[in-house]
Amino acid sequence: MLQISKKWLAVLALVSGSAYAGSVSMISVSDSISATVEGISTASSTVGKSSAKLLNLAEGDYKVVDVAQAQEAGKLRLTLHPVDETAAGEGFYLYVVAADVEQAQIRQGDIVSAKLRPYGVAVFGQGKSSPFALVLDEAWRKQILPQAITG
Amino acid sequence: MTWRQACLGVALALMLVPAGQAASWSYCDQPARANLVQTDRMLRFGHLVENILDETAAQAVVVSRSGFDLERFGLHYSHAGVMLRDEVQQGWSVRQLYFDCAAERPRIYDQGIPGFLLGNEEDLPTFISMVFLPPDEERRLAVQAHSKPVALSLLGQTYSANAYPFSTRYQNCNQWALELLAYAWGNISLEAPDRRAAAQGWLKAQGYQPTQIRLGPFLDVASWFVPLVNRDDHPANELAEGIVSLSMPDAVEDFVHQQVPAATRLEICLKDTHVVIRKGWRRLDAKCVAEPTDQVMQLQ
């Protein structure tokens, strides 16, 4: 067995950590920010899945009226209707990683809260401090992922 | 799994399995899922940093960020690059070296500030440090940093996390940024047959002092089973003493300060939603505790 002292663990963190710090590591990040939204009335139009800004999503509470399998593997489509229909517009579809929905224990009939962020929208389960979906505007999405420069 | 858990997971795995089995660990294995709370916080923090930068006239900034718990070595920062104002996109991007796991080679990337910050461990304070340059040095850096041919000509072919700063055998991310600074300020000839060697020669002549860490025999062991860690570029006398010299962001900043005394530094840390902003060359402490002269605010 290889035994490593605490000091050596820290050394390992240094050398492997500095390696990590210099690596492309966007797999999990891009997964976590991969939630997308789609206007219910535009779902069949060419607008398709869009950014929070394009849809002009309103901050507020939404009722989960339907949870369905999305076309994309591993994702669910949540149909969200505003609790206050006059204040929050028509509602929207939220496409989100199924594991995040399951972890947040979001079910049909639940109320979720959409909070506006500089980057788009964060969606929370009712009374929860942890979001289960982050929806980024397109400009932000482009900023997140590293773009390789080529000659 | 988070970044920190991934690192600890590796360390724990190394304690629990035979060394030969540990060798099968892939450096490029990444956490399956990111923490959304941390991602949300880092994106908002990136927005705050962008707002601060937008209020300056800066065009090119030497930037460093934290990433891992290196407190044992008295270090906060693990990754450095050059941040450039993008007049077309009206934003900022960091030009930097990353190891491309898919292609298994280092490459140069541009990335927005929020993305740059996403590599931080979730339960540690996040640090970003920015060094602002006087007009002449800034202009010379901006011209070279914007040049894709220059950026690529300074890219080494083989990555090593602990690359020796005065050898061109390997290169790490901070070393690339440092060599870019050297190229910008060192009047290195366009015709230089090996620009990296010329940049390193200039750095040595200017008295650049890399970060030195005493690893003892660990480097020997690590070089056997930790991917992208090597010892064959380091001087024999340092290896004999268990010392490894490498370029870390603190050394890069110290060199810039030495070369350009008029440069100014702004350091920002985030702990939970508590933000501390410090102007000056004295670094914040590891716990992100404000002193009376620091600016404090809450992350919106």
B114 and A144 within 8 Å at the Cβ level: the answer is: yes
A109 lies in some domain: yes
CA–centroid distance for A145 within its chain: 15
**Closest CB to A151 among B34, B110, B149:** B149
Looking at beta carbons, which residues of chain B come within 8 Å of A4? 11, 14-15
Q: Is the pLDDT of residue A51 over 60?
A: no
Closest CA to B44 of B258, B268, B243, B228: B268
Question: Which tokens belong to B72?
Answer: 């044992």
- For residues A144 and A56, the model is more confident at A144
- How many domains would you assign to chain A? 1
> Cβ of B118 and A14 within 8 Å?
no
Q: How far is CA B173 from CA B67, B112, B156, B296, in A?
A: 13, 17, 10, 31
Choose the mutation target among A28, A31, A137 for the interface with B, i.e. most B CBs under 10 Å: A28
Can you tell me the mean pLDDT for B178-189? 96
User: Among A19, A149, A150, whose Cβ lies nearest the Cβ of B161?
Assistant: A19
pLDDT at residue B155, as a whole number: 97
Contact B151 A149 (CB under 8 A): yes
pLDDT digits (tens, 9 = 90+) for B37-57: 988 999 999 999 999 999 999
pLDDT score at B11: 31
- How many helices (H) and strands (E) are present in chain B, helices listed first? 11, 10
Residue A1 touches chain B, beta carbons under 8 Å: yes
The shortest C-alpha distance from A17 to chain B (Å) reads 6
Helix boundaries (H) for A3-118: 6-21, 26-32, 52-55, 85-88, 98-103
* Nearest chain A CA: its distance from B268 CA (Å): 19
- The pLDDT, as a whole number, for residue A145 is 84
Which site among A18, A25, A34, A115 would you substitute to test the B interface, given the most B Cβ atoms closer than 10 Å to its Cβ?
A: A18
Percent pLDDT > 90 in chain B is 66
Pinpoint the alpha helices (H) of chain B: 3-16, 19-22, 36-54, 113-117, 135-146, 148-153, 173-185, 195-205, 218-225, 236-240, 249-259
**pLDDT tier at B120 (50, 70, 90 boundaries)?**
confident
Average pLDDT rounded to a whole number, residues A1-17: 47
CATH number for the domain spanning A51: value is 2.40.50
- CB contact A3 to B (< 8 Å): yes
Which domain covers residue A78, as residue numbers? 25-144
User: What are the two backbone dihedrals, phi and then psi, of residue B30, each rounded to the nearest 5 degrees?
Assistant: -125, 160
Sequence-ordered alpha helix ranges (H) in B186-265: 195-205, 218-225, 236-240, 249-259
Rounded to 5 degrees, φ, ψ at B86 are: -105, 105
CB < 8 Å from B in window 31-90 of A: 31-33
In this complex, which of B18, B30, B47 lies closest to A2 when CB atoms are compared?
Answer: B18
Report the share of chain B in percent with pLDDT over 70: 85
Q: Which of A11, A134, A143 sits opposite B112 (nearest CB)?
A: A143
Q: Is residue A5 part of a domain?
A: no
Domain assignment of residue A98, yes or no = yes
Nearest CB neighbour to B30, from listed A22, A27, A131: A27
Cα(A60)–Cα(B43) distance, rounded to whole angstroms?
Answer: 21
Would the pTM count as exceeding 0.90? no
Encode pLDDT of B185-212 as tens digits.
999 988 889 999 999 999 999 999 999 9
- What's the pLDDT at B19? 34
pLDDT at A34 (0 to 100): 72
Domain assignment of residue A73, yes or no: yes
State the pLDDT confidence band at B100, using cuts at 50, 70 and 90. Answer: confident
Looking at residue B118, its pLDDT comes to 85
Mean pLDDT of all residues belonging to chain B: 86
pLDDT in tens, B144-162: 999 999 999 999 999 998 9
| CA distance, residue B205 to nearest chain A CA (Å) | 26
Residue type, B57: A
- Taking the alpha carbons of B197, B203, B207, B209 in that order, is the dihedral positive or negative? negative
pLDDT at B13 exceeding the cut of 80: no
Question: Does a structural domain hold residue A10?
Answer: no
Tell if the CB–CB gap between B226 and A24 is shorter than 8 Å. no
Check CB contact under 8 Å for B18 and A1: yes
Nearest to B78 among A18, A33, A131 (CB): A18
Does A148 score more than 50 pLDDT? Answer: yes
Residue A15 has pLDDT above 70, yes or no: no
- What is the model's pLDDT at position B180? 98
Q: Tell whether the model's pLDDT for residue A105 goes beyond 50.
A: yes
Residue A19 has pLDDT above 50, yes or no: no
Average pLDDT over residues A11-20: 50
The residue-averaged pLDDT of B243-261 equals: 96
Is the pLDDT at B34 greater than 80? The verdict is no
Q: Which of A82-86, B83-87, B97-101, B282-286 has the lowest mean pLDDT?
A: A82-86
Q: CA-CA distance, A19 to A82, in Å (whole number)? A: 46
Lowest mean pLDDT among A14-18, A77-81, A134-138: A14-18
Express each pLDDT in B212-249 by its tens digit. Answer: 988 877 666 667 667 788 889 999 999 999 899 999 99
Q: Do B33 and A32 touch (CB under 8 A)?
A: yes
Tell me the residues of chain B between 132 and 161 that have a Cβ less than 8 Å away from chain A. 148-149, 151-152, 159, 161
Q: Which of B114, B96, B292 is nearest to A137 (CA)?
A: B114
B37 and A131 in contact by Cβ < 8 A? yes
CB neighbourhood size of B42 (10 A): 25
